[in-house]
Amino acid sequence: MLVFSLLPGPGLPACRAGQTNEESLIKILQSPAASPRAKGEACAQLKLMGTARSVQALAPLLLDEQLSHSARYALESMPDPAAGKALLRALTRTSGLMQEGIINSLAVRGEPAAVPQLAILLSKPDEGAAIAAAGAMGRIGGRKALASLQTAALKSTNSLHYAVVDGILMCANRMLDAGKPAAALKAFESLYSCEKADRIRLAAFRGMILASGTKGIALMTNAIAGNDRMIQSAALRLASEMNGAEASSALTGLLPQVPPPIQIALIECLARRGDFAALPTIAKLADSPDSSVRIASITAMEVLGDDSVVPLLAEKAASSTGAERKAARQSLLELNRGPVTRQLLAALKTAAPEVEPELILALGGRGDQSAVPTLLNLANSGNAAESATALQALGMLADATQIPRLVRLVADARTDESRSAAADALAAIYDRVQSPDRPVEVDALVKTVETGEVDARLALLPVCSELTQEPVRDALRAAAVDKDARVRDAAIHALCDTRDGELLPDLLKLACDKDGTSSRPLAIRGCVRLATQEENVKLSNEKKLQILTDILNAPLDTPEKRVVLSGLGAVADEGSLALATKLLADPAVQEEAEQAVIQLAGTLASGHPSEVRMALNKVLDLPVKPATRTAAQAALKKIK
């Protein structure tokens, strides 16, 4: 015996373990005492687990305005045929929105038995029901639904006509998916010839191509080559979806026959399709008189190209300009079919002088380490142009193992230009390979900086500013007091450009030099940058403020004070505000002090409102520019 109980209020029944809940839910639907809410919740549960036993209890609710929605949702998901019959019986006993809802549920179920009743509704005065019926028949599909919709299309107008036509398109597409292309083709052809709306004709034309089998390829290519721009556009969009070598061959064959705008569209289509067989034809268009076609052809080679197009792309990169050159260089970098690197290396042996740099830069940018030996040889023994380009490529490609070799290239360079190019390449490698948790090779660099020829030391000292390792620091400190004035000057410049926070004390000493040496302005800029801008230098606000205060205590000229003020504005500390406020009294840097106060006001207002208010009022007491006055007043208003 099943035991259930109705809980107080609208809730669902509590069931004992193992009890069949469906029975309890049915009893709620049949109970006069159950509220509409309780019955609605019961319907929601039956949607998930109801069987044929529930249909008899759900069917009467289809005619209830409050519960019809819940009942049909429960029935539309039940696989038992009884659920469909219950919905079909309710179809003729309802009207308005309730009827439209039942029509939609029959469509969700795909009930073929509903087609005759739905077809009758197509000619009834209730347009809402007729439109819903047309959509439902399209979703249900089948020959009977299609025939009824085609008959209705001859008589319908306005919104209903478009709903009927959409239903025909749905039926035809369902036939196509079901492997019945002949029947689908007739429906598509009828719509294409009879309908005037572009949307419908485009959809019908698409269906005609898909339903025509191999003949559809000719239909598509004829449309692309034709003059109807709307149909041409539809055919081009569909071309990307057509599979098979026959479609590829037909589309490729069109390329020489169509005008430039269509050539561009076809090239892009063939690239999207991944039609590698089209490469020879597309490559010929790289010499088109039309620049846009040339660019499209070169761009497509990025996807479709292989090692065979390396000479062509290199020549285009060398001889063209602007977007065409950019496309050629990008395609050289992205080619991935065939032994591309090997072909690039082989092409170097016979390339014209103007093409060589493009091949070398492509080798550097592709990231293939197998090119490194050749690039090193070119950098070491090539002519000046080859050497400079090879060094640039090595900067992009070489890894940490090549650092000693690059240092040697700097030391052995015969001209200032080649020495500088080798040092730039070395700096680029260091920039790529170094990380805070992984030291890089610096022994060869440090040794040459300490004991090498002066020209080599001068070229390598700027490279040291990029590094943050103890041996490099020691080498910089030693070079900064070297007996050779040029070495000293280069070392001091490297210190001023350093990214190494550990060198801040050395830099601060230079910045506070009371003798006012020529390096002091650079040192002040370096201190401010390291203390307030360099992300990898972590200092407390107190430490930052102490550095800036120490510099301000030195004898500074006006430009130097301005540099320090730019740093003060970035240190969110009341001490920074006090210093900036004090400098308001200096006419030479008054404007910079005003900006620093306003900048600090935005970050300190919540924690130090009285100090900020006082500083802003001092700004407003001065004869400031209108924009400065507006900014200060806005900051004051924000505090209030």
Poorest-confidence range of 81-95, 371-385, 479-493?
371-385
Does residue 15 carry a pLDDT above 50? no
Residue 486 corresponds to which amino acid?
A: R
pLDDT at 168: 95
What is the CA angle 430-435-438, rounded to 5? 105
**Cβ atoms of 136 and 106 closer than 8 Å:** yes
Pull the structure tokens for residue 28: 């709620």
pLDDT tens for each residue of 389-429:
999 999 999 999 999 999 999 999 989 999 999 999 999 99
Does residue 2 carry a pLDDT above 80? no
Q: How far apart are CA 259 and CA 571, in angstroms?
A: 63
Buried b (16+ CB within 10 A) or exposed e, 554-582: bebeeebbbbbbbbbbbbbbbbbbebbbe
**pLDDT confidence of 13, banded at 50, 70, 90?**
very low
Task: Provide mean pLDDT across the span 433-450.
Answer: 90
Residue labelled with tokens 């301005």: 562
pLDDT at 370: 93
- Which residues lie closer than 8 Å to 386 by C-beta, 6 or more apart? 356, 360, 378
Does residue 3 carry a pLDDT above 70? no
Q: How far apart are CA 152 and CA 418, in angstroms?
A: 83
Task: Provide mean pLDDT across the span 163-185.
Answer: 93
Measured between alpha carbons, how far is residue 434 from residues 110, 337, 365, 439, 497 in Å? 65, 32, 19, 7, 17
Q: How far apart are CA 311 and CA 298, in angstroms?
A: 12
- Give the N- to C-terminal CA distance of the chain in Å, as an integer: 76
CA proximity to 466, closest of 443, 437, 494: 494
Does residue 17 carry a pLDDT above 50? no
Looking from the CA of 186 toward its CB, the CA atoms found within 13 Å total 8
**Cβ atoms of 565 and 580 closer than 8 Å:** yes
Task: Provide mean pLDDT across the span 37-49.
Answer: 93
Q: What 3 state SS string does 399-418 have?
A: CHHHHHHHHHHHHHCCCHHH
pLDDT at 383: 82
Written as one string, the DSSP assignment of 6-55 is PPSTTPPPEE-TT--HHHHHHHHHH-TTS-HHHHHHHHHHHHHH--HHHH
Q: What percentage of the chain has pLDDT greater than the value 70?
A: 96
Identify the DSSP state of 588.
G
pLDDT at 8: 38
pLDDT tens for each residue of 114-151:
999 999 999 999 999 999 999 999 999 999 999 999 99
Task: Provide mean pLDDT across the span 214-227.
Answer: 89
pLDDT at 516: 55
Q: Where are the domains of the chain?
A: 1-95, 572-640
pLDDT tens for each residue of 58-88:
999 999 999 999 999 999 989 999 999 999 9
**pLDDT confidence of 513, banded at 50, 70, 90?**
confident
Mean pLDDT of the chain: 90
**Cβ atoms of 465 and 498 closer than 8 Å:** yes
φ, ψ for residue 126 (rounded to 5)? -75, 100
**pLDDT confidence of 517, banded at 50, 70, 90?**
low
Does residue 159 carry a pLDDT above 60? yes
Residue labelled with tokens 């239909």: 219
Does residue 369 carry a pLDDT above 90? yes
Does residue 171 carry a pLDDT above 60? yes
Does residue 9 carry a pLDDT above 60? no
Measured between alpha carbons, how far is residue 89 from residues 71, 120, 285 in Å? 14, 14, 66
**pLDDT confidence of 522, banded at 50, 70, 90?**
very high
**pLDDT confidence of 325, banded at 50, 70, 90?**
very high
**Cβ atoms of 214 and 244 closer than 8 Å:** no
Residue 38 corresponds to which amino acid?
A: A
